[in-house]
């Protein structure tokens, strides 16, 4: 009887062990591709567990998905929430400390522009390049889905996407549609401003506004004379641009300045192409339409 009981227990452990090995193999044999912004297929044989993420937008998306533990490195310019665990800084947006990256031994290095790819690939590091500089709102949706695929956390990605779309739809449903659209100017620094084919141009069109630089392509400088002639009703900028706008004597006749309608956005940024951009969109809509 004792021998029979021992045999049963042994068989149970054997079956459990086999089941565990089978499940582990299924988890490892993922095998999927992601097409990068150069049109190349980046092959993944498993979900990366250690990633250097050189993009503020991607970091924000991953944090919102609960994937913080997979981010082992980023660059100096990425601002992290106060409750975020320490993430190694391996350079800034224009430089990479390759020695430190090799020490971290990441499964994936993510970049939003293609500058560092050749050097990283020579070191045997898998690189994924997805351009977020020239993106639009559809690209943000696509990038959220891609991070769900890469991390194997499709459920959190879909929840994040649903929240993003719900908030965005609430904004667009409350926008006043009229023939006379509010005129706006978006200021970065030294009067560089986005054109209509940029993410910010896409957003101001969604908000049914007349962005005075709509006819430009990419980012270009606008002259003070043209800015005065266009006479925007609203000016939006970041913290580093507000003083330049308000202190410029040549602009004192512009409606936005005369009516004290120059704003630094407090809830999110238009320059970071993550789901949080909807917070900035909500803020602009409330300023203009409420």
> How confident is the model over 82-130, as pLDDT tens digits?
878 789 999 998 899 999 999 999 999 999 988 899 999 999 999 999 9
24 assigned to some structural domain: no
Q: Do 105 and 92 meet the contact criterion of CB atoms below 8 Å apart?
A: no
Average pLDDT, the chain: 88
7 assigned to some structural domain: no
Into how many domains does the chain fold? 2
Q: Are residues 223 and 128 in the same domain?
A: no
278: pLDDT strictly greater than 50: yes
pLDDT for res 125:
96
- CATH code assigned at 50: 3.40.50.1980
45 assigned to some structural domain: yes
Q: Of 112, 128, 161, which one is at a domain's C-terminal end?
A: 161
19: pLDDT strictly greater than 70: no
Q: Of 161, 190, 212, which one is at a domain's C-terminal end?
A: 161
pLDDT for res 2:
38
pLDDT for res 178:
67
Q: Are residues 139 and 193 in the same domain?
A: no
Q: Are residues 206 and 261 in the same domain?
A: yes
Burial code (b: 16+ CB inside 10 Å, e: under 16) for 172-210 equals eeeeeeeeebbbbbbbbeebebbbbebbbbbbbebbbbe
Mean pLDDT of 197-217: 95
Q: Are residues 267 and 213 in the same domain?
A: yes
46 assigned to some structural domain: yes
DSSP 58-98: HHHHHHHTT-GGGEEEE-TTPPPPTTSPP-EE-EETTEE-H
- Which residue range forms the structural domain that includes residue 208? 176-289
More confident call, 281 vs 19: 281
Q: Are residues 81 and 142 in the same domain?
A: yes
Instruction: List, for residues 168-206, the tens digit of each pLDDT value.
Output: 999 998 887 766 899 999 999 899 999 999 999 999 999
21 assigned to some structural domain: no
Q: Are residues 122 and 156 in the same domain?
A: yes
27 assigned to some structural domain: no
Q: What angle do CA 185, 262, 163 make, to 5 degrees?
A: 75
Cα distances (angstroms) measured from residue 250 to each of 40, 54, 225, 236, 282: 49, 39, 8, 18, 31
12: pLDDT strictly greater than 90: no
212: pLDDT strictly greater than 70: yes
195 assigned to some structural domain: yes
Q: Are residues 42 and 71 in the same domain?
A: yes
Mean pLDDT of 269-278: 92
166 assigned to some structural domain: no
């Amino acid at each position: 009887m004792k021998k029979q009981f021992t045999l049963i227990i042994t068989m149970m452990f054997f079956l459990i062990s086999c089941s565990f090995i089978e499940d582990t193999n299924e988890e490892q044999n993922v095998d999927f591709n992601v097409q990068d912004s150069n049109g190349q297929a980046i092959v993944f044989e498993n979900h990366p567990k250690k990633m250097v993420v050189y993009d503020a937008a991607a970091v924000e998306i991953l944090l919102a998905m609960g994937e913080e533990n997979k981010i082992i490195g980023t660059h100096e310019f990425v601002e992290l929430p106060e409750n975020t665990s320490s993430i190694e800084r391996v350079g800034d947006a224009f430089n990479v400390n390759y020695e430190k990256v090799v020490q971290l031994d990441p499964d994936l290095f993510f970049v939003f522009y293609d500058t560092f790819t050749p050097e990283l690939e020579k070191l045997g590091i898998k690189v994924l390049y997805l351009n977020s500089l020239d993106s639009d709102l559809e690209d943000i949706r696509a990038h959220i889905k891609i991070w769900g695929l890469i991390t194997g956390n499709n459920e959190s990605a879909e929840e994040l996407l649903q929240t993003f779309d719900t908030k965005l739809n609430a904004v667009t449903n409350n926008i006043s549609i009229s023939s006379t659209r509010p005129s706006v100017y978006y200021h970065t620094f030294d009067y560089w401003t986005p054109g209509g084919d940029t993410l910010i141009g896409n957003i101001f069109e969604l908000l049914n506004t007349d962005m005075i630089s709509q006819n430009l392509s990419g980012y270009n400088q606008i002259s003070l004379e043209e800015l005065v002639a266009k006479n925007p009703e609203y000016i939006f900028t970041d913290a580093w641009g507000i003083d330049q706008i308000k202190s410029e004597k040549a602009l004192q006749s512009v409606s936005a300045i005369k009516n004290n309608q120059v704003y630094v956005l407090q809830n999110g940024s238009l320059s970071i192409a993550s789901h949080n951009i909807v917070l900035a969109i909500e803020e602009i809509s409330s300023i203009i339409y409420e």
